[in-house]
Amino acid sequence: MESKTIQMRRLLPFIQAIVCLCLLAGLGSGIGARSVSADGGQAVFKDTAAHWARPEIEAMVSQGILDGYPDGSFRPTEPVKVDQFVKMLILSFSEQHPNHERSWRGSFLDSLTEENRTILKQDYRYFDFKPAMTGYWAKPYIDVASDLNFLNKSRYSDFQANMTRENVAELIYYTLQETEYLEDAEFSLSVARNYGDLTSGNERMQRFIAESLIKGIMEGYPDGNFGVGRYVTRAEALVILTRLTDKSKRIPMKPEKDQLQRIVPASTGSYKIVAFPDQKMLDMYDTLVEAGKLRGTNYNLLDTTLRLFKDDKEKQAVLNASSMGNLGASANSASAKEEVALWLDPAYNTYGITVRLREGTLARNKEAIELFGNRLFTYEAIAFHRWFNSICEEVEAGRPIASKQAEVGGYTVNLLVDNENKTVVFSIAPTK
């Protein structure tokens, strides 16, 4: 009996070792949550091998954005929680290093305003991208998202609730507002109206949904609905965030045939689609293109605004100030402005001319301004130019003029005057 006991004691370490190996093997399959596909390809979760979002799931999991479950599954159809999505959003703008530490992506920092970059440098200098060890685990992610104006914390009564599609669209909208630019609102809504359930959301919600659709970040369902009120799944969340952070993955939007739409260069260096209210304004955009060329290279046409510069030096100063958002720039660059701006506002069906009267401004830009006025006012152009020139001469001479309104050729022209800075704005809209 004693010998058997001794033998058991001798075997015990071996038995323990075998048990430990078995346990580690089991845990390993759970922690990694991976299995090899039948064709020997990239490893996948046991429930994502045939899933439509498999590439995005595996790519984002490899970056540490979201994990699988200990049973080897990813559960792609499970709803994602609000706090989980906010965490994934923040992590999507960071990169994971070999030691599993994280840091902000350089492209993300470059996309932020100087104000938001300062917030990260000062208030989140030691932000480690990790959940809180005491208190609410998601607080660090929610706080930084809120301070960057990606979300309004007061809008959520429960961060542990399931995330709806309109919730995601709102978060995407405000993130784009801080990191990129917002598309033409009227065009965005015209596209969103194709979805049957859009009107089930309020006007504010519709704006968020429209932006996410036109940017090619979200899309509707085969039944013709956007899915207002439906929960976003774990797989959908990763695909949405992939498109948000990687523009090459977005669904490209093109102008609709026979519609009053045009692809125009945007202030961010990319392009956007603008919807015009009528053929007249669409034709006037072509006039902006022509007017700019009259100034050689001393112009810049972005969105629906043509800016005309005195010379290349002024052009570079203005563009540099614009790229810095006039924050953190030197006093000279921050005050740099174009001489003349010819602009269209499709959302309000309004045309405009802004002139900063310096020495030689009118002479340098006479042809461009006259072309714009001739095309807009046609037979009444002479009357407009006569009034325009008299106003500019008075303001340039330092004689104060009050803002006023006039009717010219079927248009109501509102004149706004900044006598101190010798700047005049002619805001022109069809008379109703």
C-alpha 374/C-alpha 390 separation (Å) is 17
Question: Over 70: is that where the pLDDT of 211 sits?
Answer: yes
What local confidence, expressed as pLDDT, does residue 334 receive? 41
Where residue 27 falls among pLDDT bands split at 50, 70, 90?
very low
What local confidence, expressed as pLDDT, does residue 47 receive? 86
What local confidence, expressed as pLDDT, does residue 332 receive? 39
What's the chain's length in residues? Answer: 432
**Rounded mean pLDDT of the chain?**
85
> Region 272-281: what's the mean pLDDT?
89
What local confidence, expressed as pLDDT, does residue 77 receive? 93
What local confidence, expressed as pLDDT, does residue 49 receive? 86
CA nearest 276: which of 254, 255, 306? 255
* E strand map for 226-384: 261-265, 271-275, 299-302, 305-308, 340-345, 350-356
Residue 410 pairs in a beta bridge with: none
Question: Over 70: is that where the pLDDT of 268 sits?
Answer: no
The model's pTM is 0.65
Supply the Cα-derived Rg of the chain in whole angstroms.
Answer: 29
Instruction: Return the higher-pLDDT residue of 175 and 14.
Output: 175
C-alpha 94/C-alpha 144 separation (Å) is 13
Which of 36-40, 69-73, 251-255, 270-274 is the most confident on average? Answer: 69-73
Over residues 405-420, the pLDDT tens digits come to 999 989 999 999 999 9
Q: What share of the chain is helix, strand, coil (3-state, %, to 5)?
A: 45, 15, 40
Over residues 330-385, the pLDDT tens digits come to 333 345 689 999 999 998 999 999 999 999 999 999 999 999 999 999 999 999 99
> Region 237-265: what's the mean pLDDT?
86
Over residues 316-343, the pLDDT tens digits come to 888 777 665 533 333 333 456 899 999 9
Which residue type sits at 274?
V
Where residue 192 falls among pLDDT bands split at 50, 70, 90?
confident
Percent of the chain clearing pLDDT 90 (strictly above): 62
Q: Do residues 384 and 408 lie in contact, with contact meaning Cβ atoms separated by under 8 Å?
A: yes
The torsion of the CA quartet 154, 157, 161, 166, rounded to 10 degrees, works out to -50
> Region 251-280: what's the mean pLDDT?
80
What local confidence, expressed as pLDDT, does residue 269 receive? 67
Name the packing angle between helices 82-92 and 234-245 (round to 10°): 30
Where residue 70 falls among pLDDT bands split at 50, 70, 90?
confident
What local confidence, expressed as pLDDT, does residue 330 receive? 35
